[in-house]
Amino acid sequence: MRIDIVTLFPEMVEAVLNTSILRRAREKGLVTFRVVNLRDYATDKHRTTDDVPYGGGGGMVMKIEPIARALDALTAEACGAQKPRVILTDPRGRQFTQELAREWAKESHLVLLCGHYEGVDDRVRQHLVTDVVSIGDYVLTGGELPALVIADAITRLQEGVLGDQEAPEKDSFAEPILEYPHYTRPVEFRGWRVPDILLCGHHAQIARWRRQQSLRLTRDLRPDLFNRLTLSADDLKLLDEEITVPPKSRKHLPVTSESLEETASQQERGKDTDGTRTRDHS
Ligand code: ADE
């Protein structure tokens, strides 16, 4: 896939594209990024890309001619192939979502045009682009960050960009459900212990706990998404269930100062340590 980004700040865009997973995807040739300096398509000696607004008022407006020239050049380069989708970043646009990312990830060529200043001559929106998109209801200083957000969300969906373990099907929003919580070592930090269920090695119970956490998080943090979910009978049961470490798996649990204290206090109270319930971290 090819993604062109047309911008007044190429260094800013290149810096992000040359970092981490985007850089790796670029180096492996899984995606071709092309950063285009809009000033290269200005024709006057000052390389002007903006002008005062007709009708007065403050601020500057991005001119149509350099944009048209840049877009013409990029479209001509696509020679023979399908015309690229040309996306203008603008807070008035349609909301960018994971669904849109999945749809656009199937395209062979995207052009992202970064808006700036007070706005872009509206004839660009009317005649030169195919889509106008916003990354959220807030106004940024320019369209570079939105374009990078879009490029990132689309790149990670390209085959081979993420390893198997990070497979995009497992993402939040693949199904409209939030991801379960993750933990790594140490098992205990400042007395905050990783949920025992993740330490017990019982993979079926771990999978059920993760699904439960996803469901509960979505219900509590994003009721809008939760209402769109189709819940199975098992999901409904899971929501209220208390998932415990199976007695046979308790021996795999690592001993920490906290679990020692817990065991001691249980013994004091004359309780059996086997089959006791997992600490509730939900
Ligand atoms: N330009 C400035 N703010 C923006 C936003 N929220 N989305 C897209 N483009 C923008």
In this structure, are 198 and 158 located in the same domain? no
Q: Give the other-Cβ count within 10 Å of 88's Cβ.
A: 25
pLDDT at 278: 41
pLDDT at 267: 65
Q: Is residue 204 part of a domain?
A: yes
pLDDT at 261: 67
In this structure, are 124 and 198 located in the same domain? no
In this structure, are 66 and 155 located in the same domain? yes
Alpha-helix runs per DSSP H in the chain: 10-17, 20-27, 64-77, 98-104, 122-123, 144-155, 203-221, 223-226, 233-240, 257-268
In this structure, are 133 and 193 located in the same domain? no
In this structure, are 137 and 210 located in the same domain? no
Q: Is residue 170 part of a domain?
A: no
Q: Tell which one of 5, 6, 90 to mutate to probe ligand 1, the residue whose CB is within 8 A of the most ligand atoms.
A: 90
In this structure, are 160 and 193 located in the same domain? no
Q: Is residue 198 part of a domain?
A: yes
Average of per-residue pLDDT across 244-270: 75
Q: Is residue 128 part of a domain?
A: yes
Domain end call among 164, 196, 219: 164
In this structure, are 144 and 70 located in the same domain? yes
Domain end call among 164, 196, 218: 164
The overall average pLDDT reported for the chain is 90
Residue 277 has pLDDT above 90, yes or no: no
**195 assigned to active site:** no
Atom of ligand 1 nearest to the CA of 135: 7
In this structure, are 13 and 102 located in the same domain? yes
Residue 38 has pLDDT above 90, yes or no: yes
Residue 274 has pLDDT above 70, yes or no: no
Of the pLDDT bands very low, low, confident and very high (cuts 50, 70, 90), residue 116 is: confident
- The residue segments making up the domain with residue 124 are 2-164
Secondary structure letter of residue 40 according to DSSP: G
**23 assigned to active site:** no
Q: Is residue 178 part of a domain?
A: no
pLDDT at 163: 85
In this structure, are 133 and 240 located in the same domain? no
Q: Is residue 172 part of a domain?
A: no
Q: Is residue 81 part of a domain?
A: yes
Instruction: Tell me the C-alpha to C-alpha distance, in Å, between residue 29 and each of 37, 78, 103, 157, 204.
Output: 22, 17, 21, 14, 38
Domain at 192, CATH number: 1.10.1270
Residue in 14, 65, 171, 175 annotated catalytic: 171
In this structure, are 140 and 247 located in the same domain? no
In this structure, are 14 and 80 located in the same domain? yes
Residue 170 has pLDDT above 60, yes or no: no
What pTM did the predictor assign? 0.87
pLDDT at 175: 81
Residue 258 has pLDDT above 90, yes or no: no
In this structure, are 147 and 195 located in the same domain? no
* Dist. CA 137 → ligand 1 center (Å): 8
Residue in 66, 121, 131, 156 annotated catalytic: 156
pLDDT at 269: 65
Give the pLDDT confidence of 65-94 residue by residue, as tens digits: 999 999 999 999 876 678 999 999 999 999
**91 assigned to active site:** yes
Domain count, the chain: 2
Domain at 61, CATH number: 3.40.1280.10
Q: Is residue 183 part of a domain?
A: no
pLDDT at 276: 41
Residue owning the nearest CA to atom 9 of ligand 1: 90
